[in-house]
Amino acid sequence: MVKFIHTGDVHIGMEFKKASFGIDFAKKRRNEIKETFYNIVKRAGDNKVHLLLISGDLFEDEYITIGDLKELNNQFSKIIDTKVIIIAGNHDPIIGNKSNYSLINWSNNVHIINTEIEKLVFEDIGVDIYGLSWNKKQIKDNLLNDIQIEDKNKINILLAHGDIYQQSNYLPIDKNNLIQKGFDYVALGHIHKSDFIEDNIAYCGSPEPLDFSESDKHGIIEGCISNSTLDISFVPFAKREFVIMHIDIDENMTVECIIDIIVNKLQNHEFHNLYRIILEGMKDKDIKLDINYIKNRLEEHVIYTEIIDKTTPNYDLDQLRKENANNVIGKFIEHMESDIEDDIYRQALYEGIEALLSEKVN
């Protein structure tokens, strides 16, 4: 039996410039991604795994440093009995002679597949590995269509970084065509959410979630493979989860009521996770939801929260329109009200009223 770990989309070096969380948390996450990856490498060594498969986007081309690469190599060199197989993805492509992968001399157990379809033969474990590294930022052609298995008696594994869900600019993969090729296991990368496409074709997902769009369980795939059997499972491995929470507000709630509801809901959750709390529903128009105040009150319960206020104040629109028939408030309501079914219009209407009313008072 051949043991393997399948990972990818690690994005080492990621700077999180567009992330909703601030610079301090971004730095923390940047380090945590490395730490988690080193732990994956260590696990491969501890469990005497034969193959560590990395399906692209190991690092961020723009932000990786030579120091980071040396550290990666140092980690790989500690598990010399594990073969580390890497393909480059769209975030770490091998473009011409310029590639961060060529900046250092990799340990003997590290194999970086080149940008033409390549087959690596490992006689000692009876495994042939096929793969292809990216050589540009976008690939529109299905470059995997022509791969053919050469020796059916071997354990045949394919590493691919691409999109099996749709005809995209990120190496579209034809699922049916892929199934017919008869690989014993296909280790996919590119999509950050883990997904078993077939029993023997899977996206491992990113080991650490990168933002709130990745609010599922993240980890690695571990497997045992022979010519006739495959046993694989997803193993959660992330240090933190991004959790999105919806809280229903009604017009009878005060700020303290709302905080109580959130705290109550957070009680079953982990301190170290990141929470996006979305407040929805109708709020009392006289209550000001001070987001920073609520955030401060949650600090002792969880390490990170962000709060999005999507509530609408319970203005009596008819009353307001009548009272303001001759001024800009009335005209504004009249103009906006026609599209009140549209979420964005409604939000704009209520925010506009709030702004105009506060002007009036002042």
Positions that interact with Mn ion (CB under 5 A) = 9, 57
Instruction: Select 89 or 223, whichever has its Cβ closest to Mn ion.
Output: 89
Question: Least Å distance between CB 192 and Mn ion?
Answer: 6
d(CA 287, CA 276) in angstroms, rounded, equals 21
Give the nearest distance from C-beta 9 to Mn ion in angstroms: 4
Please identify, using beta-carbon distances, which residue of 57 and 184 lies nearer to Mn ion. 57
State the Cα–Cα distance between residues 316 and 350, nearest whole angstrom.
11
- Provide the token pair at 13: 């070096």
- For 257-332, strand residue ranges (E) read 274-283, 304-309, 312-313
Instruction: Give 55's strand partners.
Output: 87
Least separation in angstroms between residue 72's CB and Mn ion is 17
CB 94 within 8 A of CB 134: yes
CB of 266 to Mn ion, least distance (A): 30
Helix or strand run (H / E) with residue 329: helix 328-337
Q: For Mn ion, which is the closer residue by CB, 58 or 253?
A: 58
Q: How far is the CB of 190 from Mn ion (least distance, A)?
A: 6
Is the Cβ–Cβ distance between 21 and 304 less than 8 Å? yes
Least Cβ distance, residue 91 to Mn ion (angstroms): 6
In this structure, which amino acid lies at residue 238?
A
CB contact set of 262 (below 8 Å; sequence gap of 6+): 245, 247, 277, 294, 298
Quick one: 9 or 208, whose CB is closer to Mn ion? 9
DSSP state of 25: H
Pick 143 or 333: Cβ nearer Mn ion:
143
Q: CB nearer to Mn ion: give 57 or 208.
A: 57
- Residue 140: CB atoms within 10 A of its CB come to 11
Helices then strands, each counted (H, E), the chain:
8, 16
Q: How far apart are CA 288 and CA 260, in angstroms?
A: 16
Euclidean distance between CA atoms 40 and 49, whole angstroms = 11
Name the minimum Å distance from CB 272 to Mn ion: 24
Give the residue with the Cβ less far from Mn ion, 58 or 110: 58
Nearer to Mn ion, 212 or 345 (CB): 212
- To Mn ion, the closest distance from the beta carbon of 310 in angstroms equals 30
Distance of CA 179 to the CA centre of its chain: 26
CA–CA gap between residue 41 and residue 303 (Å, rounded):
27
Structure tokens at 62: 């723009």
